[in-house]
């Protein structure tokens, strides 16, 4: 809901005329909710996350003391008109689930809603910086500040660094880092004959049929979106390719 500030003229008009005081939106605090298309465009940068990963967690770099193994799968989620990339983690010690969304498409601000294995909820915000995404929780008196750094090394390797800073501390300290290796992927970048997800433009490996044509999607979330409205998805994909070709000229 937009905050508002009454002007002096409005206050006097209301007081003298018995009229009703109307709200004026404060441009400093009013933010437009990004459209689903804008959210998807921002989040499509993270298409490389989509799929199943095997993770190895280490509290201390170079040491197996306290280390653990986990698995996670990132998928697109288009439920209720929103757009998100979500993850479910098996056997994780720091993360049980996560939901990545775009809250400001113009500035590129992203939000990560994380649930820990102890069912504690945390909300992080941040912006991408190249192949790194640094997200932090808000500062609150007497509480720790948590930070996550997601680094996409390539299509096969991703790192997730967890850090924490106490209420009276100025520096973050390492909690643990999880190194993820994608299940069944190529070693390097995309191949020339790589199949494209019709929904997001990422790498597609699930075949779907529509009107006698075969298309590909990258995850169950994209599969559901395609099945809900295949003609719209195909039309949007054609527009996306046309924009990309125009930009390459």
> Are 238 and 118 contained in the same domain?
no
Residue 141 has pLDDT above 70, yes or no: yes
Query: 4-13: per-residue pLDDT in tens?
Result: 444 444 444 4
Q: What is the pLDDT of residues 227-242, one digit of tens each?
A: 999 999 999 888 887 7
**Looking at residue 115, which CATH number applies to its domain?**
2.40.128.20
Does 29 reside within a domain? no
The answer to whether residue 201 is domain-embedded is no
Enclosing domain of residue 230: 206-248
Question: Rounded mean pLDDT of 158-178?
Answer: 96
Over pLDDT 70: what percentage of the chain? 82
194 band by pLDDT with thresholds 50, 70 and 90: low
Q: What mean pLDDT comes out for the span 96-108?
A: 95
Same domain as 220, residue 167: no
pLDDT tier at 188, thresholds 50, 70, 90: very low
Instruction: Report DSSP letters for the chain, one per residue.
Output: ---B---HHHHHHHHHH--PPPP-B-TTT--PPPPHHHHHHHHGGGGGG-EEEEEEEESSTT--TT-EEEEEEEEEE-GGG--EEEEEEES-SS-SEEEEEEEETTTTEEEEEEE-TT--EEEEEEEEETTEEEEEPPP-TTS-EEEEEEEE-SSSEEEEEEEEE-TT-SS-EEEEEEEEEETT--SSS--TT--BBTTTSSB--EEEEETTEEEEESSHHHHHHHHH-HHHHHHHHHHHHHHHHHHH-
Are 76 and 113 in a shared domain?
yes
Q: What is the pLDDT of residue 31?
A: 56
When divided into structural domains, the chain yields a total of 2
Residues 117 and 51 in one domain: yes
Task: Check residues 159 and 242 and name the one with the higher pLDDT.
Answer: 159
């Amino acid at each position: 809901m937009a905050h508002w500030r009454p002007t002096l003229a409005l206050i006097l008009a209301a007081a003298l005329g018995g009229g009703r005081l109307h709200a004026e939106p404060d441009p400093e605090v009013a933010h437009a909710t990004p459209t689903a298309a804008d959210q998807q465009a921002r989040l499509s940068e993270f298409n490389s996350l989509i799929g199943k990963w095997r993770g190895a967690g280490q509290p201390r770099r170079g040491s197996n003391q306290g280390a653990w193994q986990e698995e996670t799968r990132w998928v697109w989620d288009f439920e209720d008109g929103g757009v998100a990339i979500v993850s479910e983690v098996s056997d994780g010690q720091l993360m049980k689930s996560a939901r990545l969304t775009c809250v400001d498409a113009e500035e590129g601000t992203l939000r990560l809603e994380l649930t820990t294995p102890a069912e504690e909820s945390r909300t992080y915000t941040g912006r991408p910086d190249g192949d790194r995404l640094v997200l932090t929780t808000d500062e609150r008196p007497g509480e720790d500040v948590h930070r996550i750094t997601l680094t996409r090394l390539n299509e096969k390797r991703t790192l997730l660094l967890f850090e924490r800073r106490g209420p009276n501390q100025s520096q973050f300290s390492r909690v643990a880092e999880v190194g993820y290796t994608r299940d069944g992927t190529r070693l390097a970048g995309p191949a020339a004959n790589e199949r494209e997800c019709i929904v997001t433009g990422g790498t597609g490996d699930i075949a779907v049929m529509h009107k006698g044509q075969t298309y590909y999607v990258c995850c169950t979330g994209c599969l559901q979106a395609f099945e809900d409205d295949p003609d719209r998805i195909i039309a949007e994909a054609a527009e996306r390719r046309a924009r990309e070709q125009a930009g390459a000229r």
